[in-house]
Structure 1
């Protein structure tokens, strides 16, 4: 990406310098992401600033695998107000590429993990068991969750066997051996959430190996709308991966056993990406669809890769996608897009009207930010005519703007910096000039008070804030981006950019995180802790 025009760049630096005080901004000017000069194998690196891993395995021809849909998990038991689920993380050998077997870390031994269908205001308790050989942490991404169940990165669930060897890694957190209950009140709007591993220093490789799944929250407001439902309401988890010749996942971990040394090699500090695009765990799949409206819950579950989604051919008569929801549920009104940029961890809930295509049309979901194999995501085949009683209302929900009249502005600068590792200062990623320390609290917002958080960057950083959703106020002091509408929990920030977001933390007092959701950045210390207080 080119640098900001002179006036905008000067305004960026002047504003951030005024707000951040001791945070050094001099390195922002002209700063390159580590690894940005070495992008190879089907990508320029422009979509995230990093380098793509090349698969050694024989790759399938695109659009030869049917799209799988993750199974919906049943509760192990239910009471009048709570559903209980038993979920186990374990290794499994599965066929992702045709022929070879891939060993995954999977929730219930599958990738993606099972979908949990939840209801607003009805409690969900996840009884989690770790049968892997390494510690794990479960984070419900987008959940309005008590701190003890949020998945703080050192609140470790140790392995059932041999867990004592990892107990010292629970620095500033708690460790439980084998099992842990995560309690989710779900007093929040209907939305597409997802759960994934959040272990400090090892989130990247453990999500890469399969620890991710959907939680879909419903409520009365959403169900009253005449939107597509049933088998026309489909979650799509988009994730890139690379494979060794024997079918194993290829990932540049410093410690392939994921036991003690966190992080990735120097070539992939800016982010690890693969040359195979998986959707719901299948490479470049195909889905037959009726010539009617379909709802797709899009999730970018890639470690670092950004996508710019588009349909080819473009449907006659208007934009390809009608967005009805964002990270945290319904928009106030539909927003139409010809292309849809989506950063790691973002979700977009969209309607595609296949009745605009003749029966027999093959429609490719493309990635305009990619090249070669990463320029294609999946394909739809418009197979038949069918009746359709769905429609897209002009008003979807009420999204009340947060009042910022008396709001405090709090700056957060995400940039390259030094991280203390094994007694030396190594290159890494920092927030406000400081590497993550799970024993340190960097901010203490009060519950119920609106704050403006100014999120600024040197490179591509998708920033995620735990506990409560936010509303984007501006980018570089100007208008919103195309994907900034509604309630968000993750924002896609580009190099030398800042965004002001309004946020109000409610209900739960305790420790939470904000961090970059480029998982290699996160693992290399780009996190900060805030503690909500009453």
Structure 2
């Protein structure tokens, strides 16, 4: 990572308010027209690619008597997201948005004290607006010129008074449950969350963020996120780009409030939640401003050589479809190689698919880009199909070519093993079945998650269908009809999923309609095994939340690309897909969570707990409904 950027340099470049003095000269906000029904200019008066990309400072733990130590303060800060904007109040780690990049060594235990030093209530405006097309959520501001609220627009009750109640989750970490950032274990200012991370995992780009129960969508939006890099000897030996040629790219999107009378952007964060007035269904939040490392539409000066970018989608809900585009508008995928995914390096660099790279919330990509092909040119990183402005950032390549000291190797992680059902995933493994259901199932206005258990006793099978909470599915691996019942849905329903430490588990995510869901499983690294797609979901009855007849077996879905075979912890499950992923739960014990990583979905109920315990303890654990593990289910 770039070692030349310290915290003071970062804060100065961000235009931080220190006391009452602005570090840097004041800048007048652009005066914009008041948002109306007509689409505004996509940049809303801000000059694209005006500001340089900021590189978050790097923190490495210092050695104590028994282990490496870090203290990281959560503080309220005022930073510039663009030099043509006023400062924006934020909740941050160490005064930075995003937080500092923490860099550790694999196998080296680190203790972190996350100190809550935040002040005031949450620094954002949160409102509901009626959902229409084009969506008003992708326009800044929400008040009429006289300051009144238009029809259907209202503050989200209670958000303005939210205190700084926080708990940090290290996303992708292999650690015990008491270090995982359990959502209910949040703390108020004046306290610290003490955690230990064993870092017993391969080199990977993890990230840390707030995970407070029911309000994660607000706290992360307010700024509480940062990157965490694990290094190991295997990665060191590859001689990939390092130092100033290895750069984090943390992608987010945000909306901003405006002065009602002038239309000028105030700099204050605006959380603008669309909802369907007829049903009350909430639409996940996206914003018109794309940020990289906390800067709206930045640029980066690069040498004409290979670079390594650690890319993270830290947005609440926005999917980025990434393309590298030259000055003529031509997509230049040949200059990009994918070196790794969420949880580590690939066995070999993978090509970018012709349709670009879709990066869902919480996913990471390890990208290698050869700028030596483009001396003196400007290239853009774009997001195809994004609402509003597709541009993300600009790369400005130096004119002078020079010998490149780095050539990416043909082979990367020699330790990588591709998982196969029944071979590298042993026959003795658990199965977990989770249904992802669209809005308006049984009058529930938002998407829901059902934990499923198979009905194996013929005497328990219903005689007539549909039955609420009962799904009949044709297993794509065996062709047999299987009947499942809902055993849990909300987070605080009874825990039903118990896994033995060291056990392999295959998770089945079955999406029966609605928007895609990036499903994240805590604790383990996993691989995508299969992806099937239903041609017809007509047998699923929305009103009852059950199937009228068995759903036919899904057919083969889109092929699994080479880069999708990597170790991951977050997986996209699209409409009508049955996706299976597998991993071994041997890195820790305790209570963990799995959930959709669209933060609005997570907070509105798409999150459930699971327990990992030693197998010797399992016989003594009185599970709900008798002995046995919900996860220990027969099947393909």
TM over 0.5: yes
CA distance in 2, matches of 1:438, 1:215: 30
CA distance in 2, matches of 1:526, 1:271: 13
CA distance in 1, matches of 2:560, 2:268: 41
CA distance in 2, matches of 1:268, 1:126: 39
CA deviation string 1:350-372 (max 9, x = no partner): 10001111x21100001112143
The Cα of 1:404 is off from its aligned counterpart by: 4.0
Q: Residue in 1 aligned with 2:448?
A: 429
Determine if the alignment matches structure 1 residue 289 to structure 2 residue 302: yes
Q: Residue in 2 aligned with 1:328?
A: 343
The Cα of 1:435 is off from its aligned counterpart by: 3.5
CA distance in 1, matches of 2:73, 2:384: 37
TM-score if structure 2 supplies the norm length?
Answer: 0.67
Determine if the alignment matches structure 1 residue 109 to structure 2 residue 95: yes
The Cα of 1:426 is off from its aligned counterpart by: 6.0
Q: Contact conserved, 1:475 with 1:481, CA < 8 A, in 2? A: no
Q: Contact conserved, 2:519 with 2:572, CA < 8 A, in 1? A: yes
**Relative contact order: is structure 1 or structure 2 higher (C-alpha 8 Å, sep ≥ 6)?**
1
Q: Residue in 2 aligned with 1:156?
A: 186
**Equivalent residues in 2 for 1:21-170, closer than 5 Å:** 59-75=45-61, 77-79=62-64, 82-97=67-82, 98-132=84-118, 133-160=163-190
Q: Contact conserved, 2:350 with 2:563, CA < 8 A, in 1? A: no
Aligned pair partner of 1:440 in 490, 494, 498:
494
Aligned pair partner of 1:410 in 425, 432, 457:
432
CA distance in 2, matches of 1:462, 1:59: 33
Q: Which SS does the other structure have where 2:601 is aligned?
A: helix
Tell me the number of residue pairs that the alignment of Structure 1 and Structure 2 aligns. 453
Aligned pair partner of 1:521 in 590, 594, 601:
601
Q: Contact conserved, 1:57 with 1:247, CA < 8 A, in 2? A: no
The Cα of 1:217 is off from its aligned counterpart by: 0.8
Determine if the alignment matches structure 1 residue 249 to structure 2 residue 269: yes
Q: Contact conserved, 2:308 with 2:366, CA < 8 A, in 1? A: yes
CA distance in 1, matches of 2:281, 2:254: 14
Q: Contact conserved, 1:226 with 1:390, CA < 8 A, in 2? A: yes
CA deviation string 1:208-256 (max 9, x = no partner): 11000011110110001021111000010000100002111110479xx
CA distance in 2, matches of 1:393, 1:515: 36
Q: Contact conserved, 1:108 with 1:114, CA < 8 A, in 2? A: yes
Q: C-alpha root-mean-square deviation of aligned residues, in Å?
A: 2.7
Structure 1 unmatched runs, 5+: 1-39, 43-53, 161-177, 255-262
Larger mean Cα displacement after TM superposition, 401-410 or 323-332 = 401-410
Q: Residue in 2 aligned with 1:22?
A: none
Q: Which SS does the other structure have where 1:115 is aligned?
A: strand
**Equivalent residues in 2 for 1:347-496, closer than 5 Å:** 347-357=364-374, 359-373=375-389, 375-383=390-398, 384-397=400-413, 398-400=415-417, 401=419, 402-416=424-438, 427=446, 429-432=448-451, 434-438=488-492, 440-457=494-511, 458=513, 459-476=515-532, 477-478=556-557, 479-481=559-561, 483-496=563-576
Change beyond 3 A, Cα 1:405–1:368:
same
TM-score if structure 1 supplies the norm length?
Answer: 0.79
Q: Residue in 1 aligned with 2:540?
A: none
The Cα of 1:158 is off from its aligned counterpart by: 2.1
CA distance in 2, matches of 1:55, 1:149: 46
Q: Residue in 2 aligned with 1:277?
A: 290
The Cα of 1:428 is off from its aligned counterpart by: 5.1
CA distance in 2, matches of 1:466, 1:55: 41
CA distance in 2, matches of 1:329, 1:57: 36
CA deviation string 1:308-337 (max 9, x = no partner): 100112889862420111101111111010
Q: Residue in 2 aligned with 1:179?
A: 192
The Cα of 1:394 is off from its aligned counterpart by: 1.6
CA distance in 1, matches of 2:222, 2:332: 41
* Structure showing greater Rg: 2
Q: Which SS does the other structure have where 1:210 is aligned?
A: coil
Larger mean Cα displacement after TM superposition, 204-213 or 386-395 = 386-395
Q: Which SS does the other structure have where 2:59 is aligned?
A: coil
Q: Contact conserved, 1:236 with 1:299, CA < 8 A, in 2? A: yes
Q: Contact conserved, 2:281 with 2:439, CA < 8 A, in 1? A: no
CA deviation string 1:41-82 (max 9, x = no partner): 98xxxxxxxxxxx9999541111110000001243x413662
Q: Contact conserved, 2:60 with 2:104, CA < 8 A, in 1? A: no
The Cα of 1:83 is off from its aligned counterpart by: 1.7
